[in-house]
Amino acid sequence: MSVAQTKSELTLGPALFNWAPEVWRDFYFRIADEAPVTTVYLGEAICSKRAPLFEPHLADVSERLTKAGKTVVYSTLSEVMSKLDRDLVESVCAAEGLVEANDGSALYYLHGRPHHVGSFINAYNERSLAVLVRNGATNICLPPEMPATAIGVLAPAAAKLGVMTEVQVFGRVGLAVSARCYHARAHGRVKDTCRFVCEEDPDGMELRTLENTPFLTVNGIQTMSHDYLNLIGELAELEELGVRRFRLSPHSCDMVEVAETFHAVLTGGLEAAQGTERLKALNLGAPFSNGFYHHTAGYRQVPPGLH
């Protein structure tokens, strides 16, 4: 079956926040049992210091997801700054199973082996896609700031190369990563002695302007949007552009409800407007946005169909 004929599906990206290990485990157990997603990404993508916290539960979570019929893909770090980071990336890439590369160092280890490419890697044009495919990529998650016009070029180009295109459709948008840990600094600490202060903010720490307006979100070394990306109204158009995999980014809200809502719209059981109302009922504490998709400021909410 060609990529163009592949049935559309929902995926669940890696959990980007520092949740208590038992919360993390139980979150994925419920995803395994209840969520209509076909692929689940596991692993620490932000801070290597967090990885050992979840390691005791990783095998059980992976087994539960696999028994539920879901494909497990192990994600690597998005930034490599230390030997600890390098060792973590190398160990993830050396393990059996599918791996998602989120940094160039992972691409080195995965050369010639089928793998996924995450949204932290800049795949902005057809030549970049071709290079990634030659390296072994079989699935490429495009950066979340890509507008529809660019997706409409890259998705068909990827299909011609025989690889799948994935696009984030829900969750806070990752905007940048830094060598410094903003979370630690905000609490008068440094990265090496942070005492995992980021665990106090399960969906990131709100950042406000001098006028006290919510602006961005801080997640350890990562800067994210304050708003929640929501492309439920653009699912049909994304399918027309050639996208077949739609990524939900995990948050502390009811992600099973999120997945069920997107699945209902994707399969025609629910209108997009009704899906939006169901998502609003989650009371996320921040507005929805789709500006990047419509080639405008990312935080904006543009009515579907307008570009």
Question: Does residue 252 fall inside a structural domain?
Answer: yes
Cα separation, 293 vs 297, in Å, equals: 9
Can you tell me whether residue 247 is helix, strand or coil?
strand
Question: Does residue 140 fall inside a structural domain?
Answer: yes
Question: Does residue 208 fall inside a structural domain?
Answer: no
Find out whether 244 and 164 touch, Cβ atoms under 8 Å. Answer: yes
Query: Digits of tens for pLDDT over the chain (307 positions)?
Result: 456 567 899 999 999 999 999 999 999 999 999 999 999 999 999 999 999 999 999 999 999 999 999 999 999 999 999 999 999 999 999 988 999 999 999 999 999 999 999 999 999 999 999 999 999 999 999 999 999 999 999 999 999 999 999 999 999 999 999 988 989 888 889 888 888 889 999 999 999 999 999 999 999 999 999 999 999 999 999 999 999 999 999 999 999 999 999 999 999 999 999 999 999 999 999 999 999 999 999 999 998 655 5
Question: Does residue 30 fall inside a structural domain?
Answer: yes
Per-residue pLDDT tens over the stretch 38-73: 999 999 999 999 999 999 999 999 999 999 999 999
- Output the DSSP codes for 53-122: HHHHHHHHHHHHHHHTTPEEEEEPPS---SHHHHHHHHHHHHSSSEEEE-SHHHHHHTTTS-EEE-TTS-
Find out whether 230 and 169 touch, Cβ atoms under 8 Å. Answer: yes
CATH number at residue 117: 3.20.20.70
State how many domains the chain has: 1
Question: Does residue 201 fall inside a structural domain?
Answer: no
Domain housing 122: 3-173+225-289
Cα separation, 107 vs 118, in Å, equals: 11
Question: Does residue 82 fall inside a structural domain?
Answer: yes
Question: Does residue 21 fall inside a structural domain?
Answer: yes
Per-residue pLDDT tens over the stretch 233-266: 999 999 999 999 999 999 999 999 999 999 999 9
CA 19 to chain centre: 16
CA 240 to chain centre: 22
Question: Does residue 79 fall inside a structural domain?
Answer: yes
List the helix and strand counts (H, then E) for the chain.
10, 12
Amino acid 257 reads E
